[in-house]
Amino acid sequence: MSKLVPLPSKALVPERDADKFPILDVRHLGIDFGGLTAVDDFNFTMGRTEIGGLIGPNGAGKTTVFNLLTNVYRPTRGSILLDGVDTLGMSTHQVNKLGIARTFQNIRLFTNMSVLDNVKVGLHNSTKSNLFASVTHGPAFHKAERKAKERALELLSVFHMEDLADAQAGSLPYGAQRRLEIVRALATEPGIMLLDEPAAGMNPSETAELMENIRKIRDTFQIAIMLIEHDMSLVMGICEGIAVLNYGKIIAKGTPDEIKSNPAVIEAYLGKKEE
Amino acid sequence: MQNNQHNPFGIKMSKKPLTKNIVTLTALVIAFAVMLVLSEAGILSRHMRSMLVPVCINIILAVSLNLLVGFLGELTLGHAGFMSVGAYAGCLFSIAMKEILPMAIRFPLAMLVGGLVAAVFGVIIGIPVLRLHGDYLAIVTLAFGEIIRSVIINLEFTGGAAGLKGTPQDSTFVIAFIVVMITLILIINLVNSRHGRAIMAIRDNRIAAEASGINVTYFRMLAFVMAAFFAGVAGVLYGHNLSILTAGTFDYNKSIELLVIVVLGGMGSIRGSIVSAIIITLLPEVLRDLADYRMLIYALVLIIMMLLNASPRFAAVKAQFSPAALKAAAAAKKAAKEGNANE
Amino acid sequence: MMDFLSTLISGLSLGSIYALIALGYTMVYGIAKMLNFAHGDVIMVGAFAVITSVSMLGLSPVLSILISIVCCVVLGVSIERIAYKPLRKSPPLAVLITAIGVSYFLQSLALLIFGSTQHSFPKIINMPAIELGELTIRGNMLITLVITTAIMAGMSIFINKSKTGKAMRAVSEDRDAAELMGISVNRTITITFAIGSALAAVAGLFYGTTYGFIGPYTGSMPGIKAFVAAVFGGIGSMPGAMLGGILLGVIENLSKRYISTELSDAIVFAVLIIVLMVKPTGLLGKKINEKV
């Protein structure tokens, strides 16, 4: 784990990413839902190979941040620079093409499709086959399909799921569904991947395995990974930079050790100590 | 995971769709050849012969509607509207070109014109309509279908309420069948491609599809326009099979009949749509005594199919008799037998 | 001017019938979260019940109206029990197709029983026309207006003040939470269908007296138009349904009078499309955010 160093903008990123342009640079992001401020003044920077964590009590606005980052919601204030590009006004699929992929807290797979096809949907924008090729199934189509299939199996092998390629996604056991969602997100060739509670519902040994795999994905694909998680062993174990959100505002930022000893964080989680 | 017996977790394997579709198409060609021979040999009654083209038309309509209902997962009740637009465009084209172009060129062009005009209507209607989902989408497509019908009845050049006369009767069984085959191949190819996967992904989870980089608006529009195109082509075939074309036939009941075909055949099953289109088209002719009960039967088909699909008990029975399960059972039996023999 | 006023008044009268039907649509939509496509056909059944009791059985008007209401309530509740209840957890598409099936079923059953000819509706409302200067208001229109207004006022009080009404609003807001609070969701949905169907019976009565003829397909058009009205006002909102219904009736009558009789349906549908494009939540509807 590399230590955090400041960028010219004073945001902290891991030392190895310091000389590269940050993949994600969020400034003063905020959103109001009918007068209610859900997220406010959210500042966050992710290095190109950083594993970052977003934690906080339930209802703090963590998933809202993910929805803002993927343009599911339109921010009321602030800006999101994804790989240096301001994503304001783009649609969700456009920011995905630009390099941000995500998983969902409540798993969202294409349940009636096969595991392989789920991954192939992720490969959609890298599969080169136009509408004419798709309706005529010419040689170009078959070449593109073969490539997509090879790539999909390769990606599935990250989680040793190649054997399940023909299974119907909706019939997979819970853990496999969560893993498939990560594979599908990876297939879109993101620069940064957002994982929304990837360890939810997993037992400690599965969580440990997941932790290993997240690190492996970062190392193999050289991408940034930002995760929302309630499992502190996972967050403290793999995240390099952590932001703590409470009532829509960042109350603390820093390395796992700094977060662990931050009084504001302890207060947010455990409540104010009785005097 | 090649074999079901090694699959203790109840994980369902999906079928290989392409081989299945080749079987379907081959069967269809054989059925066509048989019907053609019977028809030419004069064995088929005149009445049955007159049903051959309508069967083809309904196959095209059902398969194209299935693209929306089964693959995109949106119910539209305006399919008959697109069919009528295509029919009128194609028929007006043929009437205008009757003396100028020979049938061999005129008719394919008429189908193209009908399909394209319907597709253009698909775009025009799709832009507002496709912002909606579910119930709203269904009712708005119904509204558009009804608007199209009332406008056609009120126009001069469409022949108004009296109908359009003078269309050359170019639709033959052979031509209709060729169009069916082209439609099926194009739609089956589409479904089994990157574009088809995108459409099905939207059906299964729109938000996840969008997050996976699928331009949901584009692909919903693509499916909508494709379906409109083929409905238009079917409309042209229909218009060239009759001496008078009246807008009244393209009402909401026609859309419902098509929906019955798709639901009975199984949403998302091309083969099902074909078989069910044949049955539903021929049924009233075969069971003439039941003609009065036809609508009642349609209604019950819709309700019962939906209730059965939702019933877990029926799902269990269906799974038990699915080809995969039967194969697995046979394999298990065989394995047990061999096991006994070895002892 | 007098012409415009009398068109307006007959529009109001027609609109109040739409409002009654739309009320049933919107209640079911709000509480059971489904588009009860068959709602319009319940009107037709109600009207046929009146025709049968008065013209064929020779019963008194009041008794026939009661019979009609009971028939519709029983029908509505049975439809819900048999066809919709097993689909509570099914995708919306399946529920919608089933509802279309039910609508079709009622129509074809009526076709088998009563034939495709239009049956004349008995004149059970006898009220002389009222003359206000040059303006003549037909008696049945006045009755329709007065009674529907009374019913709507009653419904508002019921929904806002009664325990059952509160339960209905709770289920519409959050079904699971309502269940946890001890409200029986099944019972509430049944009551909703019962009330909606009773309103449909009354609407059928007024529709019959207004148009004079009833056939197997009579219900489908006003049904669809009432849905348009419900969407217009904002689906799920009861004041919205009333407002939408009345506006739609007025729009329809004005366009019939001043634009074209044949195109009046097309105009009504165009209104639906415009409303959905410009304000998808309708005039008085709430915005619903999809949860991601």
pLDDT band at B134 (very low <50, low <70, confident <90, very high): confident
Residue at A159 is within a domain: no
Of chain B residues 178-197, which have a CB less than 8 A from chain A? 186, 189-190, 192-197
What the block records as the tokens of A176 is: 């496999």
**Residue B150 near chain C (CB below 8 Å):** yes
Give pLDDT, residue B3. Answer: 41
Domain span at residue A76? Answer: 1-96+225-275
Total count of domains within chain A: 1
* pLDDT score, position B9: 53
Average pLDDT of C177-190?
Answer: 90
* Banded pLDDT at B16 (limits 50, 70, 90): low
Phi-psi region of A84 (alpha: psi -120 to 50; beta: other; left: phi over 0): left
pLDDT at residue B39 is higher than 80: yes
pLDDT of B315 over the 80 cut: no
Name the closest residue on chain C to residue A73, using Cα atoms: C292
In this complex, is the C-beta atom of B154 within 8 Å of any C-beta atom belonging to chain C?
yes
Give the number of beta-carbon pairs within 8 Å between A and B.
127
Q: Is C170 on the interface with B (CB under 8 A)?
A: no
pLDDT per position as a tens digit, A234-268: 999 999 999 999 999 999 999 999 998 888 888 87
Residue B156's pLDDT is: 86
Which has the closest alpha carbon to B16: B328, B326, B324, B336?
A: B324
CA of C119, closest CA in chain B: separation in Å? 19
Q: Which two tokens stand for residue B162?
A: 């009296």
- Residue C72 makes CB contacts below 8 A (sequence gap 6+) with C42, C45, C46, C49, C197, C198, C200, C201, C204
Distances B304 to A10, B274, C105, C187 between C-alpha atoms, Å: 65, 20, 12, 24
Q: Which residues of C touch A63 (CB under 8 A)?
A: 292
B151 to C266: CB separation less than 8 angstroms, yes or no: yes
Is B47 an 8 Å CB contact of chain A?
Answer: no
pLDDT, greater one: A167 or B46: A167
Per CB-CB distance under 8 Å, the chain B contacts of C102 are 299, 303
CB atoms within 10 A of CB B192: 18
> CB distance from A67 to chain C under 8 Å?
yes
Work out the minimum CA distance from A146 to partner chain B, whole angstroms.
12
Mind telling me how many Å the CA of C289 is from chain A's nearest CA?
10
Mean pLDDT of C150-167: 90
Across all residues in chain A, what is the average pLDDT? Answer: 91
Which of B 240-259 lie inside 8 A of C, CB atoms? 256, 259
Average pLDDT on A21-29 reads 92
* CB-based contacts of B167, cutoff 8 Å, min separation 6: B91, B94, B95, B239, B240, B242, B243, B245
What tokens appear for B26 in the block?
Answer: 């081959």
- Residues 136-165 of chain A with CB under 8 A from chain B are 136-137, 141, 144-145, 148, 163-164
Q: What is the pLDDT of residues C89-110, one digit of tens each?
A: 888 888 888 999 999 999 999 9
Mean pLDDT of chain B: 87
Are A70 and B193 in contact (CB < 8 Å)? no
| Contact list, B298 vs chain C (CB under 8 Å) | 104, 108
Closest CB from C89, C100, C273 relative to B140: C273
Mean pLDDT (chain C) is 87
The two three-digit tokens of residue C246, written as one number: 């009345």
B194–A188: do the CB atoms touch at under 8 Å? no
Domains in chain C: boundaries: 33-115+137-218, 220-285
Residue B12 predicted with pLDDT over 80: no
User: What is this model's ipTM?
Assistant: 0.91
What's this model's pTM, rounded to 2 decimal places?
0.88
Q: Which of A252-256, B61-65, B299-303 has the highest mean pLDDT?
A: B61-65
Q: What percent of chain B has pLDDT over 90?
A: 56
Q: Is the CB of B146 inside 8 Å of chain C's CB atoms?
A: yes
Residue C202's pLDDT is 93
User: Cβ contacts (< 8 Å) between C269 and chain B: which residues?
Assistant: 143-144, 146-147
Share of chain A above pLDDT 90, in %: 73
Asked whether the predicted pLDDT for residue A269 surpasses 90, the reply is no
pLDDT at A18: 80
Contact with chain A for residue C93, Cβ under 8 A: no
The pLDDT of B240-257, averaged and rounded, is: 89
A104 and C CB contact within 8 Å = yes
Distance CA A220, CA A119 (A): 18
- What confidence score (pLDDT) does residue B326 get? 63
Predicted confidence at residue B91, as pLDDT, reads 96
Residue C116: which residues within 8 A CB-CB, separation 6 or more?
C215, C216
Distance, in Å, from the CA atom of A70 to the CA atom of A228, rounded to the nearest integer, reads: 14
Residue A155 lies in a domain: no
Reported as a pLDDT band with limits 50, 70 and 90, residue C46 is: very high
Of B139, B143, B302, nearest to C101 by CB-CB distance is B302
- Residue B248's alpha-carbon distances to B10, B81, B291, in angstroms, are 50, 11, 20
Asked if residues B220 and B130 have their Cβ atoms less than 8 Å apart, the reply is yes
CATH code for the domain in which residue A36 is found: 3.40.50.300
- What are the CB-based long-range contacts (under 8 Å, 24+) for B29-32? B29/B181, B32/B177
CB contacts < 8 A (A, C): 5
Q: Is the Cβ–Cβ distance between A195 and A214 less than 8 Å?
A: yes
Q: Which comes out higher in pLDDT, residue B47 or C195?
A: C195
- CA neighbor of B273 nearest in space, from B234, B219, B313, B312: B234
Chains that touch A (3 or more CB pairs under 8 A): B, C
Check pLDDT > 70 for residue B208: yes
User: What is the sign of the dihedral through the CA atoms of A261, A262, A267 and A270?
Assistant: negative
For residue A31, pLDDT beyond 50: yes
Q: Say what the pLDDT of residue A273 is.
A: 55
The packing angle between helices B46-66 and B79-97, to 10°, is 120
How far off is chain C from A80, nearest CA to CA, in Å?
20
- Chain B's closest residue to C29, CA to CA, is B135
| C210 CB-near residues (< 8 Å, 6+ apart) | C13, C14, C17, C140, C141, C144
Where is pLDDT greater, at C32 or A177?
A177
Q: Looking at chain B, which residue has its C-alpha nearest residue C84? A: B307
- Which residues does B315 contact at the CB level (< 8 Å), separation at least 6? B309
**What pLDDT band is residue B257 in, cutting at 50, 70 and 90?**
confident
Distance (Å) from the alpha carbon of A105 to chain C's nearest alpha carbon? 9
Which residues are registered as beta bridge partners of C135? C132
Asked if residue B5 has pLDDT above 60, the reply is no
* pLDDT given for residue C69 in this prediction: 96
CA distance A145 to A155: 15
**Separation of alpha carbons C149 and C151, rounded Å:** 5
Beta bridge partners of A42: A29
Tallying the residues shown for chain A, one arrives at 275
Please report the pLDDT score of residue B1 as a whole number. Answer: 37
* Most confident among A43-47, B14-18, B235-239, C63-67 (mean pLDDT): B235-239
- Which pLDDT belongs to residue B340? 57
Closest among A126, A46, A53 to A84, alpha carbons compared: A46
- How many whole angstroms separate alpha carbon B191 and alpha carbon B270? 10
Q: What is the pLDDT of residues B152-207, one digit of tens each?
A: 998 888 888 889 998 999 999 999 999 999 999 999 999 999 999 999 999 999 99
The pLDDT of residue B2 is above 50: no
- Residue B300 contacts C where some CB pair is shorter than 8 Å: yes
How far apart are alpha carbons B27 and B36 in whole angstroms? 14
- pLDDT, residue B336, reads 61
**H helices present in A157-255, as ranges:** 174-187, 204-221, 232-238
Q: Does the structure show a pLDDT above 80 at A28?
A: yes
pLDDT at C264: 86
Q: Any idea which residue has 């996967």 for tokens?
A: B197
- For residue B335, name the pLDDT band (cuts at 50, 70, 90): low
Give C4's contacts (C-beta < 8 A, 6+ positions apart). none
Place of tokens 């190819």: B189
Element (H or E) spanning C140, and its range?
Answer: helix C139-161
Mean pLDDT (whole number) for A188-211:
92
Give me the pLDDT at residue B333, please: 64
Instruction: Return the beta strands (E) in B148-252 as ranges.
Output: 164-165, 244-245
Q: Which residue of B has its CA nearest to C91?
A: B310
Q: Looking at residues C74-80, what average pLDDT do you find?
A: 96
Q: Subunits touching B (CB < 8 Å, at least 3 pairs)?
A: A, C
Cβ partners under 8 Å of residue B216, min gap 6? A93, B202, B206, B209, B210
Cross-strand pairs, A246: A249
CB-CB: which of C87, C263, C276 is closest to B306? C87
What is the distance in angstroms between the Cα of B318 and the nearest Cα belonging to chain A? 16
A269 in any annotated domain? yes
pLDDT range class, residue A98, cuts 50, 70, 90: very high
C105 contacts in chain B (CB < 8 Å)? 296, 299-300, 303
What pLDDT, on a 0 to 100 scale, did the predictor assign at position C195? 94
What is the number of other CB atoms lying within 10 angstroms of the CB of residue A274?
Answer: 4
What are the residues whose beta carbons fall under 8 Å from the beta carbon of B163, sequence distance 6 or more?
Answer: B244, B245, B246, B247
pLDDT of residue B217: 95
